[in-house]
Structure 1
């Protein structure tokens, strides 16, 4: 709106209208960046699934979804470059240590179809080896390009059996869409949310001190909510806001498994 206001001011005789539009746009950006709007939007996503509690029962396997490595930068700089979702990898390493008998799966191809860059899972495997994780414990899934394909390709790769307990590691704000995708393909997993962006309810009242931080948080939440809407409309999840108790009906799950 601010850009539109500037165009109106410069290209038309309606300077006051343009000034009002530009001022409104600037005020809107400042409000969205300073008020905790981004936290309001992302908090429900992060709270949807509770933290994992170990009840002593054995864990069959641990799945971590890609998104923690900057593949392009890693290739360009010839070193491992992590991003803000690095907690996924650290949690994966910790769980691998805590459950030495569990199968380990890194799920993630290349998010850009047709890219010549190596799948993230390949790069991640080399990185995990440098951290001390034995390569023979790792299974990598490299065909997926998005969350839905993560679920489908991982299911096809590991062929889970009834009664097995698999942990799914991903960012807390991404967990609803991830869990919905896995449920829809008939792969029952246990959520292990990490990479929280908020400190809890107190952040719902705490304004941001830097506009760009607030806008970045809002952008992240908005993209995830749009992803949830898109996945529901396309049948990739069985609910608009997947959560405990929103598992797909048996007929829906069978249809998804057939795909």
Structure 2
């Protein structure tokens, strides 16, 4: 009986999710619309949204970004003087101001702490100001400091860069600190899907970083999971940031940032 309840709870909750319900309405409307041209255009719109929110499209886009940077174990990582952590995991517009609120990319900061605690790096350099267009009151690096300290990093081992607004500026501003501190070796910590563009930016600044990718977003498509066959807001989100990352990569190449 418990197994049956589990199955029904998974199947019936489909009708609580906005996207599956939306597509059910779309199917209904496709049968109701009589005009051929209108029906075809409506079908194309629905198909576009369906593909954008499918696991197959989302996974293909993000896998293309991650494939050149497979996971690296702590044991494999050579020692370096500093871990450069790219921002993008702390909510600067969270309604909660009493503590840093982490986003889906929290692995960036937690893996940097793992490197530090394993003795792979002596310092953590967090780079990231505000990437918001109209609000820069809260800088991500400033918010990260208290979190790093709470999780066991000595304040004297934390270096903050809070002026950069994007990946290119992360590299430019970080280079100034690297030269000032005379660091000779550095591990770059960021999401695997973001590593392709990040490594290019840092190496363009003549910083030969050691990549330590984290926060993998690709899926195991052969798992047979029922949820893989349903459109979801999660897959739509993956498609969205993967497209943004691909566009960012090619724009950066065009601007010679890479």
Shorter-normalised TM-score: what interval? 0.7 to 0.9
Which residue of 2 is the match for residue 87 of structure 1? Answer: 107
Indicate yes or no: 2:159 matched with 1:139.
yes
Return the alpha-carbon distance in structure 2 between the equivalents of residues 181 and 56 of structure 1: 21
Aligned-pair CA distance for 1:164:
2.9
Aligned-pair CA distance for 1:130:
1.9
What CA deviation, in whole Å up to 9, does each residue of 1:149-171 have, x standing for no partner? 10111011121899932110000
Which runs of structure 2 are paired with 1:144-159 in the superposition (5 Å)?
Answer: 144-159=164-179
**8 Å contact 1:40–1:204 — kept in the other structure?**
no
Which residue of 1 is the match for residue 67 of structure 2? Answer: 47
Aligned length: 225
Return the alpha-carbon distance in structure 1 between the equivalents of residues 113 and 149 of structure 2: 10
Return the alpha-carbon distance in structure 1 between the equivalents of residues 36 and 158 of structure 2: 63
What's the TM-score once normalised by structure 1's chain length? 0.77
What CA deviation, in whole Å up to 9, does each residue of 1:113-143 have, x standing for no partner? 5634221000000121222222111000111
Aligned-pair CA distance for 1:212:
1.7
Return the alpha-carbon distance in structure 2 between the equivalents of residues 198 and 126 of structure 1: 31
Return the alpha-carbon distance in structure 1 between the equivalents of residues 188 and 107 of structure 2: 13
Return the alpha-carbon distance in structure 1 between the equivalents of residues 239 and 38 of structure 2: 26
Return the alpha-carbon distance in structure 2 between the equivalents of residues 97 and 80 of structure 1: 21
User: Could you list the runs of 5+ residues in structure 2 that have no partner in the other structure?
Assistant: 1-33
Which residue of 1 is the match for residue 5 of structure 2? Answer: none
Aligned-pair CA distance for 1:59:
1.5
Helix, strand or coil for the counterpart of 1:99? coil
Return the alpha-carbon distance in structure 1 between the equivalents of residues 77 and 101 of structure 2: 35
What's the TM-score once normalised by structure 2's chain length? 0.78
**8 Å contact 1:171–1:195 — kept in the other structure?**
yes
